[in-house]
Amino acid sequence: MKLRGLIPVAVTLLTVGCVSSGTHDAVLAELDACRNERLKTQDQAKTELDAQFVALQKLETELDGKMREIEACQKTAVAANEYSEKLKQREADLRGKLQKELADKDVTISRLKDQLSVQVMDKILFKTGRADIQPAGQAVLEKLAGVLKDTDDMIRVEGHTDNVPIGVGLKDKYYSNWELSGARAASVVRYFQHGENKIDPLRLEPVGYGEYRPVAPNDTAENKQRNRRVEIVLTAVKPPLESAPPAKAAEPASTP
C-alpha cells in the first residue's frame, strides 16, 4: 500500500520538473526499500507455505499408516471371531464323538476364545512308565483324528506327568519325566500321522512338559492321576507376516 502511494507522488514531481536531486534520490530510495520489503514478505510467505506443505505431507503419511493399522486390526478381529465360531463347532463335533469317554471322565474338553484343549488321561493311553499307546487309547485318538483330519487347525500335543521320579528300572530309557512326557507326546503325534485318519504332519507339534505344568497339586493319588495326561491343543494357523515396505534411503547431510 505504501508503494502505491509513492508512485503517483514520484510521477507528479518528475512531471512538474521542479524536484530537487535530493528529493528525487530520497523517493527512489524509499521505493527500493518498499520493493525490498515486499520481496522479503513474499519470501517469508513462501517459506511458511513450503513448511506447511511438508507438515501436511507428513500428516497424510501418518494418517495413511494409522488407517492401515486400523484395517489390519479389523481383519484380525474378524478372523479371530470366525475362528472362535469354528472352535465352537469343533467342540460340538468332538463331544458328539467322545460321549462315553467324557462321561467316564477319561477325556475332558475346554475351550477358550482362541484355542480348544482336549485332555486325555494317561491311564487310557499308556501303561505306567511306557510311551506306546494301548488299544483303548488308539480308539480315542482315532475318534479325535476323524474330527481333526480335515480341519486347518494347528495341533500341539503336550505330554504331562506327575512329580513321581522315574523308577530305577526305567532310567536307561527315560532319564526323567521330561523324557517320558516328550516320548508320549511324540507317540500321539506319530499315531495321528500314521493312523487310519491321517493328519498332515505339518500341522502337528509334540511338546513334553514333564511334571512342571500340573493342573492340581501333587498331594493326593487322585490329583497325581489328573496331572498324568496328554493335552491336544488346537490353535489357528498364524498368517504369514506382510513384508514391510523398503526403508527410505537416508538423504545426504547438506553442507554449509
Say if residue 242's pLDDT is above 60: no
- Mean pLDDT, residues 151-178: 94
Query: Is 111:88 a contact under the CB 8 Å cutoff?
Result: yes
| Percentage of the chain exceeding pLDDT 90 | 50
CA distance 30 to 7: 10
Q: So what's the pLDDT on residue 21?
A: 72
Say which residues have a Cβ less than 8 Å from residue 198's Cβ, sequence separation at least 6: 145, 149, 192
Instruction: Report the chain's mean pLDDT, rounded to a whole number.
Output: 85
Say if residue 248's pLDDT is above 90: no
CA distance 9 to 2: 11
Query: Is 157:206 a contact under the CB 8 Å cutoff?
Result: yes
CA distance 139 to 141: 5
- Mean pLDDT, residues 127-155: 94
Domain boundaries 84-235, corresponding CATH code = 3.30.1330.60
Say if residue 69's pLDDT is above 50: yes
Q: How far is CA 35 from CA 9, 41, 143, in A?
A: 16, 10, 92
Residue ranges of domains in the chain: 84-235
- Mean pLDDT, residues 217-227: 96
pTM of the model: 0.66
pLDDT in tens, 77-122: 777 788 888 888 889 999 998 999 999 889 999 988 788 999 999 9
Say if residue 67's pLDDT is above 60: yes
pLDDT in tens, 7-60: 565 555 555 555 567 777 787 888 888 888 888 888 888 888 888 999 998 888
